[in-house]
A and B are shown apart, each in its own frame.
Chain A
Amino acid sequence: AQTVTQSQPEMSVQEAETVTLSCTYDTSESDYYLFWYKQPPSRQMILVIRQEAYKQQNATENRFSVNFQKAAKSFSLKISDSQLGDAAMYFCAWQADDKIIFGKGTRLHILP
C-alpha cells in the first residue's frame, strides 16, 4: 500500500527566509505524480507544485521548488523568500491512476 509521510506537524520561518518541508512516500509503482498542496484558513486546496516521477529535473514554480529524490522516495518542498501569505497547511500527495494519497500535513507559520 502506498503511504505518504510528513514528519513535521508544524514549522515556523522568519519572513523573507527559506524553509524546507519534508515528505517521504512509499510505493511500488513506477509511474506516478507527486504534489504539494497548500490549504490556507479558507480551506481551499491550492496546487503549489507537482512533479512527474519520470522526470529527473526538479519542478520549480517561482519561489517554490522541490527536491525530488526518487530512489530515496523523498519529495521536499523549499519555499524561498517566505511571505506572510505562505502561512497555511501544506499537504504532500502521491498520485497514480486516479488514486491520491495525502500526507497528514505540515502547518507553516510565518514570523513577521
Chain B
Amino acid sequence: GAVVSQHPSWVICKSGTSVKIECRSLDFQATTMFWYRQFPKQSLMLMATSNEGSKATYEQGVEKDKFLINHASLTLSTLTVTSAHPEDSSFYICSARGTGAKTRRYGYTFGSGTRLTVV
C-alpha cells in the first residue's frame, strides 16, 4: 500500500527550543502533505496544507512563525515547532496525498504521529 513514515514518534524538549518533525512518503510521490494536531480524546485539527515547492497554506488561528512547514521534495515534508512552550505539547500527525494508482486506491495516507512534550 501507500506508506507514510513520520519521525520521531515521540520527543521531549525544553521550553524555548525548536523541534523538527519529519514526514516521508516511502513508496509514492506526495504532491500534497497535511499537518494535523490532535489533543487528547479529540478529533484531528488541520493546521496546514503544503504542496511541494510552494509555501504552506495555514488554517485560521495557526501561527505561521511558530509552526514552520517545509515541503522541499515530493517525498518529504517537515514541521518545525519553534520556541516551543508547554502549550504546544500535543500529538502531531501528517498525511500525504499523491497522484496515480496508489492515491486512487488508498486516498490520503497518515503517518503514525509524533507525541511532543514540552517541559
Binding site for B on A (CB under 8 A): 33, 35, 37, 42-47, 50, 91, 95, 98, 100, 102-105
Question: Per a CB cutoff under 8 Å, which of B34, B107, B113 touches A33?
Answer: B107
Could you write out 26 A-B pairs with CB less than 8 Å apart? A33-B107, A42-B112, A43-B38, A43-B93, A43-B112, A44-B110, A44-B112, A45-B93, A45-B95, A45-B113, A46-B110, A47-B106, A47-B109, A50-B107, A91-B43, A91-B44, A95-B108, A98-B34, A100-B34, A100-B46, A102-B43, A103-B43, A104-B42, A104-B43, A105-B42, A105-B43
Query: How far, in Å, is B54 (CB) from chain A's closest CB?
Result: 13
* Consensus secondary structure, chain A interface: strand
Q: How far is the CB of B35 from chain A (nearest CB, A)?
A: 12
Complex contacts, A45 vs chain B, CB 8 Å = 44, 93, 95, 110, 113
Please determine whether A98 and B112 come into contact, CB atoms closer than 8 angstroms.
no
How many A-B pairs have beta carbons closer than 8 Å: the answer is 41
Q: Does B24 contact A (CB under 8 A)?
A: no
* CB neighbours of B109 from chain A (8 A): 47
- B44, B97, B112, B113 pick with most chain A CB within 10 angstroms: B44
In this assembly, does B58 line the interface, its C-beta being within 8 Å of a C-beta of chain A? no
Assembly CA distance A27 to B46 (angstroms)? 18
Across-interface contacts of B110 in A (CB, < 8 A): 37, 44-46
Chain B contact patch, size range: 10 to 19
Contacts of B95 in A (CB 8 A): 45
Is B32 on the interface with A (CB-CB < 8 A)?
yes
Residues of B within 8 A of A95 (CB): 107-108
**Separation of A42 and B46 alpha carbons in the complex (Å):** 20
B window 30-50: CB within 8 A of A:
32, 34, 38, 42-44, 46, 49
CA distance A104 to B95 in the complex (A): 18
Residues of A within 8 A of B113 (CB): 43-45
- Closest chain B residue to A43, Cβ basis: B113
14 more A-B residue pairs beyond the given contacts A44-B113, A100-B34, with a C-beta to C-beta distance below 8 A: A33-B107, A43-B112, A43-B113, A45-B44, A45-B110, A47-B106, A47-B108, A47-B109, A95-B108, A98-B34, A98-B49, A98-B97, A102-B44, A104-B42
